Structure 1
Amino acid sequence: MSTVPAAALDYLGTHRVMTLATHGSDGPWAAAVFYVSDGATLYFLSSPTSRHCRNISENPHVAATIHEDYADWPQIQGIQAEGVVREISGDDEKHARVLYGDKYPVVGKIAQAPAAIVKALAKVRWYRFEPQRMVFIDNASGFGHRDEIDCRS
């Protein structure tokens, strides 16, 4: 197993939206979700009835990207990843909630959250994305620079 470069971990920690690519009985689907990172592990919440979560329940192997909308090619950075998503509960969910609340205070301070947020959070499940392979694209280190990372232990 190779170590995830600090630049890739920093990138994960400073961004918020991951696009998940899933596949289920209705075919492929992509959906953007807010996430929080703990090293290379990513946590997110979503409705179990959403198409991407239904797909995950059928086939937990997914692909994901994290990137910005860059206008300047030499500045492009981003993450491409593949791995497995699992619904979590118990201590894993508590851990995810704390991390998520630190990054997104409206979720962490549920007593102070707007009623619509409280209502929505009552319907979600928590998920963990464990990447098996990642690619950190970093044109700032040279055009087309890619760090291929094996995340399997």
Structure 2
Amino acid sequence: MALNLTAPVRDFLARHHVMTLATQGGAGPWAAALFYATDGDALVFLSAPGSRHGRDIALQPRCAATIQGQEQDWRAIQGVQIEGVAAPLDGDDRDRARRRYAERFPFVRPEAGPDAIVRALARVRWYRLRIDRLFFIDNARGLGQRQQFDAS
């Protein structure tokens, strides 16, 4: 399933590093800020499986995410709103996510990170957020301008 994202959307995702992931679980809705890396039309991230959002994903994989800058001028606001499905990764998919993430965040490479990071990485789970729908907000094109991209 391809989203066929435009260059401005791909550039936006490449310039930013943190998404806010919104999940729903037994304790209600939850949001968590997480580093991400792109992997084709998906986002990959890591988290402890026992974290609240990790437990929520295990119960209900449908989730949402946002990525935005911290602009003070409304004309400079850009951001994405995402609907999708998050899932833990194993095997080759997990290894690919690790590589993509390490390309973006060198501090997670075993040879680069301090022992504390290496130990922490041994306890995390790798996830992929498969994007079903993405909205790109770009106020530089006018207030409230938004493009929709759906997986086909």
* TM tier relative to shorter chain: over 0.9
Match of 1:137 in 2: 137
Could you tell me how far apart the structure 2 residues matched to 1:2 and 1:106 are? 30
Contact 2:64 2:84 in 1 (8 A): yes
Identity among equivalent positions (%) equals: 50
Runs (4+) of structure 1 exceeding 2 A deviation are none
* Aligned positions, number: 151
Pair 1:117 & 2:117 matched: yes
Letter of the 1:128 counterpart: R
Deviation at 1:2, TM superposition (A): 5.6
Deviation at 1:10, TM superposition (A): 1.2
Q: 5+ unaligned residues in a row in structure 1: which ranges?
A: none
Contact 2:80 2:137 in 1 (8 A): yes
Contact 2:106 2:112 in 1 (8 A): no
Deviation at 1:111, TM superposition (A): 2.4
Deviation at 1:91, TM superposition (A): 0.8
TM-score (norm. length: structure 1)? 0.94
Q: 5+ unaligned residues in a row in structure 2: which ranges?
A: none
Deviation at 1:85, TM superposition (A): 0.3
TM-score (norm. length: structure 2)? 0.95
For residues 70-99 of structure 1, what are the alpha-carbon distances to aligned partners after superposition, in whole Å with 9 as ceiling and x for unaligned? 111000000000100010011111111111
1:36-115 equivalences under 5 Å are 36-108=37-109, 110-115=110-115
RMSD (CA atoms) = 1.2
Is the partner of 2:22 in helix, strand or coil?
strand
